[in-house]
């Protein structure tokens, strides 16, 4: 149980385009979903916390107008990287939380912006 999926697993896009990443909890309803970013050889950095039906809470330094988060249901959250640039190339990982217990991580999305 507690499986989280992400789609796509890899995406390559041109600079200036927008990319949408989906995060789904497959077998449970997640009260909260989290979005992380991980640059090579660095740790996961929390970008934002998302609760169903409410606006996401962004961490300091993360541009909310650039990284749009929509949490439409208890099983789906999307992250849209708008007007992507090469410096946005990274590994994006979502996690879903069941209550106050552990977070279950998705397999990640590798974004490459050319």
Partner 1 sequence: GQNIDQPTEMTATEGAIVQINCTYQTSGFNGLFWYQQHAGEAPTFLSYNVLDGLEEKGRFSSFLSRSKGYSYLLLKELQMKDSASYLCAVRDGDYKLSFGAGTTVTVRA
For 23, the 3-state DSSP assignment is: strand
Question: Which residue among 84, 108, 111, 113 contacts partner 1 (CB under 8 A)?
Answer: 108
Q: Judged by CB under 8 A, how many residues of this single chain contact partner 1?
A: 20
Interface mask toward partner 1 for 83-102; x: CB under 8 A: --------x-x---x--x-x
Residues 35-74 that bind partner 1 (CB under 8 A): 42-46, 49
Please report the beta strands in the chain, taking only residues with DSSP state E, as ranges in sequence order.
Answer: 4-7, 10-13, 19-25, 32-38, 45-51, 57-58, 67-73, 76-81, 90-97, 103-105, 109-113
Question: Between vectors from CA 22 to CA 100 and to CA 11, what angle results, nearest 5°?
Answer: 130
Question: Which residue among 15, 107, 112, 114 contacts partner 1 (CB under 8 A)?
Answer: 107
For the four alpha carbons of 52, 76, 92 and 3, in that order, the dihedral sign comes to positive
Of 76 and 105, nearer to partner 1 (C-beta) is 105
**Interface with partner 1, residue 7, by CB under 8 A:** no
Interaction site with partner 1 (CB under 8 A): 32, 34, 42-46, 49, 91, 93, 97, 100, 102-108, 110
């Amino acid at each position: 149980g507690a499986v989280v999926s992400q789609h796509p697993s890899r995406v390559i896009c041109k600079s200036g385009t927008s990319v949408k990443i989906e995060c789904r909890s497959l077998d449970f309803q997640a009260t909260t979903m989290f979005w992380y970013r991980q640059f090579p050889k660095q740790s996961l950095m929390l970008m934002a916390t998302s609760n169903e039906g409410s606006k996401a809470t962004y961490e300091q330094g993360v541009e909310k107008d650039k990284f749009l988060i929509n949490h439409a249901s208890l099983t789906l959250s999307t992250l849209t990287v708008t007007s992507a640039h090469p410096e946005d190339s990274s590994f994006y990982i979502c996690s879903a939380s069941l209550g106050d217990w552990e977070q279950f991580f998705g397999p990640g999305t590798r974004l490459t912006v050319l």
